[in-house]
Amino acid sequence: MARRDLWPRVEPLLSRVERPARYLNHEWGSSAPVAEGDFAFCMIYPDTYELGQANQAVRILVNAVNATDGMGAERAFLPAVDMADLMREEGVPLFSLESCRPVADFDVVGITLPHELAATNVLETLDLAGIPLRTADRAEGDPIVLAGGPCAYNPEPYAPFFDVILVGEGEEQLPETLALIRELRASGAPRAEILREVVRRVGGAYVPSLYRWRSDEEAQAAGSWAEPLFDDVPCVVHKRVFEGFADSPALEPMIVPYTEVVHDRLNVEILRGCARGCRFCQAGMMYRPVRERSADNIVDAVARGLAETGYDEVSLTSLSSTDHSRIAEILSRVNADCAGAGVRVSVPSQRLDAFGVEMAELVAGQKKGGLTFAPEAGTQRLRDVINKNVTEDDLFAAIDAAFAAGWRRCKLYFMVGLPTETDDDIKGIASLAQRAYDRAKAAVPADQRGSVRMSVSCAVFVPKAQTPFQWDGQISPEETLRRVGLLKRSVKYKAVDVHYHDPATSFVEAVMSRGGREVADWVEAAWRRGARFDAWTELFNEEAWTGAAGELGLDPAAIAQAEFPTDYVLPWAHITAAVSPKFLARERERAAAGITTPDCTFENCSACGACPTLGVDIELQQEREGKEASPARNPYRTVAHPRQAEPPRPGRAGQREGAAGKEAIR
């Protein structure tokens, strides 16, 4: 079939829509279209260009495929509402950016699942592309449709819509999957055989159509909701991890857009994973173990990236960037390299207990915008429940350092509805914010105190799969509004602003996070009633979701708000992030008792199971410093430049069979 180019049909539409630059190719740094004869992959972010082009996963995966011989990757994004409606009106299907080729003409299509509220956008994407929504309805000539990303750790609400769902880090996993599909298609293998071979031969690949969905009673008896239909289909799908991350180049080839996008700057990933162990945090569980890139790698990447892109801002990204064992050295070297160039260096994820005077002086140079700190809870009791492992003294020390160093605006991030939360905890948020404001004013000269701003942002707790709080329910939207009202009444300072997330969208997020395969029908019914772009406040269509639930006879509140014992088998039990269910259950018990668990990068192994299960160690550049630091040694931790000689460590085989390893695996 001749390659189709939709540009002659797309170009006339651009004068009729907002931000036409969203749909243009040839940005600085973009790759050439897939060459004739190459295996063609289209990577899609299911939201607008402004959000998707800034996504690091999209960039990493497109680069990984384009670096593979005989393969080519192009990008596509979901058009905004005006363009999507116009494309339907004019009969123009979804197209790739690089060649304006119909997405349905690619061999394989990949859609990342960045968050739960993107679910209806997935269906909008498939429908615009002209690809049948459900894998059961796809023909032999249709593209194989892949998914991956954070929501893959509970894939069931998306299961009927994807041929393959890849769980874990994709740098090696995605090219390996595409190579296998290319090989099998070249041999004439039918679609069903391709899918079965992928699940057999690619680690971390989940093919929902190869599993029967059990009833609740069957699932509790069997220990899993998903029953393999064949003996060679795995009962449990283990995530893949990119073992070479720490030694891989920190600079990924990067595109400079024509139009403004979110996080419009050079992004350099300095480490992957976080072992702080916050009990609500899915990312902290699913990206283990911690792996740091070297200071030389990072500093070189910043220098080359700024030179190649022309950006005047660089962000050193990770889940907890100030935890990097050599962050002070990295910031000092980058600031020295950028001196006089007007470059802003930012560290977007800052721990309260790691933001001292030195860090305040190193971050952001002369260009100081706002800072965000996340105490998460208003009282120490509740911070211990969630294992935040920070105190109000940590917050006040960070505030003192930041405002003395020149900052004048700060946002404090909290959650409402956390397990065991009481009204006293809500009032504690107000008290903590007001005292933080007092500290900020005291830290600046008297003539500048009028410029001090403090805001409070409250998200609604959403129980996430693969976390210790996965068995806990979400409070109702009505109760959320009551608690927010209590908080606002408790804040007596006019200078402290309170903002909160919409509880209706958080409710949908909780259902998507906790639901089983039955939730997929709810997603499709809501989409058919007009739901799309649910993460956009002005476009969220609550009536579509409530109407869809009534149509199906589904009780979404029972899914979002139910609380279960830790021996209850949840709908994602057949997917594992390598953190053992025993560890998660133990952490929930410790939460109820208010007992904290130390970060294993500072102290002993916490027996979460990730390192021995994956066969991958924690990789640090040097031993981490801080109040958690301990002379104890972790057998799953390697340190590139230890400050002092460490006792001999057993070989990998020995340590995997040791007592700590046995405990962690159970």
> How many C-beta neighbours within 10 Å does residue 278 have?
21
Mean pLDDT, residues 5-21 taken together: 97
Mean pLDDT, residues 220-238 taken together: 97
Alpha-carbon torsion, ordered 191, 194, 196, 202, to 10 deg: -150
Mean pLDDT, residues 345-362 taken together: 77
* CATH 3.40.50.2300 segments of the chain: 4-236
Cis peptide before 190 (omega within 30 of 0): no
Give pLDDT, residue 629: 55
* Axis-axis angle for helices 477-490, 503-514 (nearest 10): 130
Listing DSSP states for 147-163 in one string gives EESGGGGS-GGGGGG-S
Is the pLDDT reported for residue 489 higher than 50? yes
Is the pLDDT reported for residue 632 higher than 60? no
Q: pLDDT tens, 235-270?
A: 999 999 999 999 999 999 999 999 989 989 999 999
Give pLDDT, residue 627: 56
List C-alpha distances in Å: 463 to 5, 475, 574, 612.
45, 10, 18, 26
Mean pLDDT, residues 354-380 taken together: 78
Taking the C-alpha atoms of residue 188 and residue 182, their distance in angstroms, rounded to an integer, is 10
558-567 in b/e form (b: 16+ CB < 10 A) is ebbbeeeebe
CB 274 within 8 A of CB 577: no
Is the pLDDT reported for residue 175 higher than 50? yes
* 149 exposure class (CB count in 10 Å sphere: 0-12, 13-18, 19+): buried
Give pLDDT, residue 644: 53
Residue 120 pLDDT level (bands cut at 50, 70, 90): very high
Give pLDDT, residue 660: 34
CB 117 within 8 A of CB 51: no
DSSP single-letter state for residue 124: H
Give pLDDT, residue 423: 98
Give pLDDT, residue 214: 98
Taking the C-alpha atoms of residue 603 and residue 101, their distance in angstroms, rounded to an integer, is 53
Give pLDDT, residue 347: 85
* Displacement of CA 424 from its chain's centroid (Å): 31
Q: Is 3 left (phi over 0), alpha (psi -120 to 50) or beta?
A: beta
Give pLDDT, residue 368: 66
* CATH 3.80.30.20 segments of the chain: 243-637
Taking the C-alpha atoms of residue 268 and residue 261, their distance in angstroms, rounded to an integer, is 17
Taking the C-alpha atoms of residue 618 and residue 601, their distance in angstroms, rounded to an integer, is 7
Give pLDDT, residue 371: 83
Is the pLDDT reported for residue 163 higher than 90? yes
Mean pLDDT, residues 402-418 taken together: 93
Mean pLDDT, residues 327-343 taken together: 91
Mean pLDDT, residues 171-193 taken together: 98
Give the rounded percent of residues in the chain with a pLDDT score beyond 70: 93
Is the C-alpha dihedral spanning 206, 208, 210, 212 positive or negative? positive
CB 548 within 8 A of CB 188: no
- The rounded mean pLDDT for the chain is 92
User: For tokens 């959650």, what's the residue?
Assistant: 415
* Displacement of CA 278 from its chain's centroid (Å): 15
Q: Look up the CATH architecture of domain 4-236.
A: 3-Layer(aba) Sandwich (3.40)
Cα end-to-end distance, the chain, whole Å: 53
* 244 exposure class (CB count in 10 Å sphere: 0-12, 13-18, 19+): exposed
| CA-based nearest residue to 53, from 82, 84, 19 | 19
Is the pLDDT reported for residue 653 higher than 50? no
Q: What amino acid occupies position 279?
A: R
Q: What amino acid occupies position 384?
A: D
Listing DSSP states for 462-490 in one string gives ---TTSTTTTSPPPPHHHHHHHHHHHHHH
Is the pLDDT reported for residue 661 higher than 50? no
Mean pLDDT, residues 122-127 taken together: 98
Give pLDDT, residue 369: 63
Taking the C-alpha atoms of residue 91 and residue 97, their distance in angstroms, rounded to an integer, is 18
Q: Determine the CATH number of domain 243-637.
A: 3.80.30.20
Mean pLDDT lowest among 338-342, 414-418, 438-442: 338-342
User: What's the whole-model pTM score?
Assistant: 0.93
Q: How many residues belong to the chain? A: 666
Read off φ and ψ for residue 381, nearest 5 degrees.
-55, -45
